[in-house]
Structure 1
Amino acid sequence: MARLPYVDPETAPEVVRQVFAGLSGRLNIFGIVAHAPTLFGPLVALGDAVLVQQVLDARLRELAILRVARLSPARYVWAHHVQIALDAGVAREQIEALERGEFEVPCFDESEQLVLRFTTEVLRDVRATDLTFAAMVQRFTAREVLELLVTIGLYMTLARIMETTDVDLEPALAETA
């Protein structure tokens, strides 16, 4: 059970109601973040930018998000992003490897392993090593590197919000988790 009540869009301030009206679904995370009306809209917009407007390959984005979810740990992020990752072309074998905490295994190609190593270093150490960063800028554009950093940062933030407030999984996901 969540440690904060979920904001009811019907009784929320107008700015919050407007953001809720623009959402395609009612995820529990939105009901928690809506407690901060000045952050709610920008956070939703950032999430939209990360999920649908980046040039970074969606498979790589989802691998990074799942790595953040496992290392944080964040069960809500993991539960939501397994299917998104599958839809983006991530193989079930890769998801199972990430679930075990493995990423330097043959089911990941060099680019995927690099993104996962970069994600791990940024998450654990704040800063990627010079070696990893040099490999990233050699393989990816500056835009892709920054998009990946923002993705990692956003999901680190969301993981902390979700875990600290005990956001409940939606019933359909709770049955499969």
Structure 2
Amino acid sequence: MDVELKPLNDTEWPQSVAALREGFAGRLNVYRTMAHHPALLAAWAPLREHVVRQRAMSDQQSEAVILRTGYHMQSSYEWAHHVSRGRAVGMSEERIASLAGPLEGMAPEDRILARAVDELVEDARLLASTRRDVIRLIGPEGMFDLMATVGFYSVLGFIANSLDVPLDDDVAAELQSRPAP
């Protein structure tokens, strides 16, 4: 039996997480898809608040980590959304594009962040030298937030990729008029 789990519309939305529909969860198809599991979505909300809003990285550092994670996840959904977010926080097209390429083609700060993402995704650990560089750049709390961000967006990539979550209309329209690098 093939089960299709599409993003839930407002009339299908579970009552147990009704308050989340008016916030972050109702705005994105990945969360409208996660709403098929209301308990997970409810548990997800506090972690999302920290990873997205309360983290120890700057907006651009966070977007660099998310873009590199999306690249590794081969998640067109996450990549597209964070091209849009990266642009919104002032990242250049060249910088965004570099995050899908070799470390040597990146600015020094992005190279440190991307190397950390690469090690976490490929080896499930940070090498001591990378850990030192990350802590020098963003501090110990930033290092933990970087790891949490990679894990958080990997899960979203799993959902988006496994369930073919459609790109949200506003991001699709933006990329139609201004394609991703």
Quick check: 1:120 aligned with 2:118? yes
Structure 1 residue aligned with 2:77 = 76
Query: Once superposed, what is the RMSD of the aligned Cα atoms?
Result: 2.1
Answer yes or no: is the 8 Å Cα contact 1:9–1:17 preserved in 2.
Answer: no
Structure 2 SS opposite 1:104: helix
Q: Gapped runs of 5+ residues in structure 1? A: none
Answer yes or no: is the 8 Å Cα contact 2:57–2:142 preserved in 1.
Answer: yes
> Which residue of the other structure, out of 150, 156, 174, is the alignment partner of 1:158?
156
Q: Give the Cα–Cα distance (whole angstroms) in 1 for the partners of residues 49 and 5 of structure 2.
A: 24
Mean Cα displacement is larger for which, 139-148 or 153-162? 139-148
Answer yes or no: is the 8 Å Cα contact 2:61–2:110 preserved in 1.
Answer: yes
Q: Give the Cα–Cα distance (whole angstroms) in 1 for the partners of residues 90 and 9 of structure 2.
A: 35
Amino acid at match of 2:129: L
Structure 2 residue aligned with 1:132 = 130
Structure 1 residue aligned with 2:104 = 104
Quick check: 1:5 aligned with 2:6? yes
TM-score, normalised with respect to structure 2: 0.85
Q: CA deviation at 1:24?
A: 7.7
Change (3 A) 1:173 1:21: closer
> Which residue of the other structure, out of 168, 172, 176, is the alignment partner of 1:170?
168
Q: Give the Cα–Cα distance (whole angstroms) in 1 for the partners of residues 117 and 32 of structure 2.
A: 28
Q: Gapped runs of 5+ residues in structure 2? A: none
Amino acid at match of 2:157: A
**Percent of aligned pairs with the same residue?**
27
Q: Give the Cα–Cα distance (whole angstroms) in 2 for the partners of residues 96 and 12 of structure 1.
A: 36
Change (3 A) 1:8 1:97: same
Q: Give the Cα–Cα distance (whole angstroms) in 2 for the partners of residues 172 and 87 of structure 1.
A: 13
Structure 2 SS opposite 1:66: helix
Answer yes or no: is the 8 Å Cα contact 2:33–2:165 preserved in 1.
Answer: yes
TM-score, normalised with respect to structure 1: 0.87
Q: Give the Cα–Cα distance (whole angstroms) in 2 for the partners of residues 17 and 3 of structure 1.
A: 22
Amino acid at match of 1:28: N
Q: How many residues align?
A: 173
Answer yes or no: is the 8 Å Cα contact 2:5–2:36 preserved in 1.
Answer: no
Structure 2 residue aligned with 1:88 = 89
Q: CA deviation at 1:62?
A: 0.4
Amino acid at match of 2:116: F
Mapping of residues 25-40 of structure 1, within 5 Å: 25-40=26-41
Answer yes or no: is the 8 Å Cα contact 1:62–1:85 preserved in 2.
Answer: yes
Answer yes or no: is the 8 Å Cα contact 1:74–1:159 preserved in 2.
Answer: yes
